[in-house]
Amino acid sequence: MSTLLSFLPPFPSLPSPLTPLLATLAALAGALLLFPLLRLARRRPSPHRRPPSAAAPLPLLGHALSYHASPTAFLLSQRSRIGPIFKLNLAGRRVVVVCGGREAAKKVATAAERVLSARRAMEAVGLGESLGAVNVGLGAEFHRKVLKEGMGAAATAELAPSVLAAIGAAVGVELEAAVERGGEVADLMAMVRRCMVRCVVAMFIGSEVLRRLGDSFVHDFIAFHDAAENATLKAALLPHALALPLFLLPVARKRRKITSQLAAAIASLLKDRKEVQNGTQSNLDASFGAGPWIRAFEFFRLETEDAAELSAGLLFSAHKSSAIGATQAFLFCHEQGGELLRQAVEDSRKVHRCPRNDKGITLDLSDTLRRCVKEALRLTAHPIGAVRTVVSPKGFLLPAPDGEPYWVAPGEMIALSHIAVHLDEAEWGADAAQFNPERQRWSTPRAPDEYAHATFSQGVHKCPGEHMALMMMRSALAVLLGGEYEITPAMPLPPLSSERTTLAQRAAAVAVRVRRATGEAGAADLTACMPCDPPS
C-alpha cells in the first residue's frame, strides 16, 4: 500500500488561511450527512403500537393553526374521526391527547411524578418564565399545605360570610360607579375579575396588603395575567427557541414587576407587626389584616421575595377561573331565563337577607346556585389540561378503547381534554352541549365523579382549592343575582370562546345595564333565611 501511494501525485497544498475554514465546512457536511443515518440506525421498532395522529397537519406547523382557531371544535372533530386518543403536532411539539375513556384518564391522572412529570410539562410550555421557578417547583405543594393544614374544610366553610362580604363590597364599589356614569358596565367579566383580585388579596393574603398595594396593582396584575396566558399559549404552539425571546422573557419582566410590588407591601406589613410588642397573635392578625398566607409565610420563615412569588402564584390560580365561572353561571341563567332565573335570584336574595353567621349555611343549602355553577363549569372547561411529560425511561402505556395499549415515548407529552369529556353525549346525554342545571347528575352535591366532571383535574394533581373556589363562585353569583344592584345583560349574548388557556370566556365583551335594586335584598330577615331544603 505504501508503494502504491508513493506513485500518486502529491495533493496540492491550500493557502493556510482557507485550510481551517474548509476543514470546518467538511466536518459540518459530514455531520449533516451522518446525523440522519445515525438516527435511523438507533431507531428501533417499538413492541407496542403508537397513538394515531390527528388528521390534516400542515407542513412545519402541524395542527397548531387549526387547534388555535377553535380548540374545542378541533378536538371534538378529531375524536369523531379518529377516536378518543390521538397525537397532535403543535409546530413540532408532539402531544398525545386523551379525549375520553375513564381507564386512560385515570392512569394518566394517578401516575407518579417520576413517571409522568407535571413539573417538566410546566417548564416545557414556559411557566418557568411566566410564573417563576418558585411557583413551578414549590407553589402547588405550598398552597395545598396552607389550604389543608392551615385552613381545612371547617375554616373554608367559616370563611363564606367574609368572602361574600368582600366580593359584595368590591362589586358594590364598581356598580355604584357605573350607576353614577349612566348605568352601564362595558365588560362584566372584566369587572368581576377586578373584584375577585381584590377579594383574593384581602381574604387570603391580607386586607392591609391590599390597601398598601393600591388600585393600580389590580390593573397591573390583570395585565400580567393576560400576558402570561398569551405567552403560555404561544409557547405551546411555537418552538421554544422562538417563544422564549418573543413572549416568555417579556412576560418574565412583567412578573418581576408584580412580585416587587407584592414584596414591598408584604415586607412593610411584617415590619410593622414586629414593632408591636403587646397583644396576642389573633389580635395582631386582626389589627394588621393578615390572612392565612401571611401567617404561613411567617411560620415557614420564607424570604420576602419567595413569599411575593407565591402570592402572585396564588392570585394567578385563584382569581380568574373563579371570576369566569361565576360570571358565566350568571350569563347562562339569563340566557335560559324563566323559572331557573327566578329561582336563582330568589336563592341569592335569601343569602343576602340572612344574618352574617347564617349566610354560609344558606349559601351551601342553595341547590340552584350549586347546580348553576357546576353546570357552567362543565360547559366552559379547559380544552386541554393535566399536561404531563413522560419521564420514565420505559415510556408510558396508555390504555386504548379497543384493547391493545398505546405506547408514548419518553420526552413526549400527554394531556387530558376536560371539555371533550364534558361534551360527550355518552356521558351527559344528547343535550350535552346545552346548559341544563336540572340534570339528574347534579341531584347530589358529590355527583358526578372527577372523571366525568374534570374542571378541577383529577388524581395526584387535583386542584387543592376546589371547595374554596366553588364557594367563591357561588358567593359571587349570589352577589350578581341578588345583591343591591340589578344587572341586566343585553341579549343575545356573544357565544362561548375557548381560545384562551383558562375557562372558556365569551367571543366579545358582555355589556350590562345596572341600576339600584328596588327590593329589600340587603335587609336582614330571619324568617326568610332558612327555607331552602337540603339537596336530596
**Binding site residues for heme, as ranges?**
463
3-state secondary structure 120-171: HHHHHCCHHHHCCHHHHHHHHHHHHHHHHHHHHHHHHHHCHHHHHHHHHHHH
Element (H, E) at 310: helix 304-336
Beta bridge partners of 407: 397
Instruction: Give CA–CA dist 456/463, Å, rounded.
Output: 5
Annotated binding site: 463
DSSP letters, 359-381, are: HHHHHHH-HHHHHHHHHHHHHT-
Tell me the C-alpha distance between 341 and 332, whole Å.
9
Cα(78)–Cα(95) distance, rounded to whole angstroms? Answer: 14
Check residue 146 and give left, alpha or beta (phi > 0: left; psi -120 to 50: alpha). Answer: alpha
* Count, residues in the chain: 536
- Closest to 265 in 3D by CA, of 322, 324, 216, 301: 216
- Separation between Cα atoms, residue 316 and residue 276, nearest integer Å: 32
Q: Which residue type sits at 119?
A: R
DSSP states of 449-469 as a string? -TTTS-TT--GGG--TTHHHH
CB 85 within 8 A of CB 401: yes
For residue 57, which of 100, 92, 99 has the smallest C-alpha distance? 92
Which string of b and e fits 175-193 if b means at least 16 CB within 10 Å? beebeeeeeebeebbbbbb
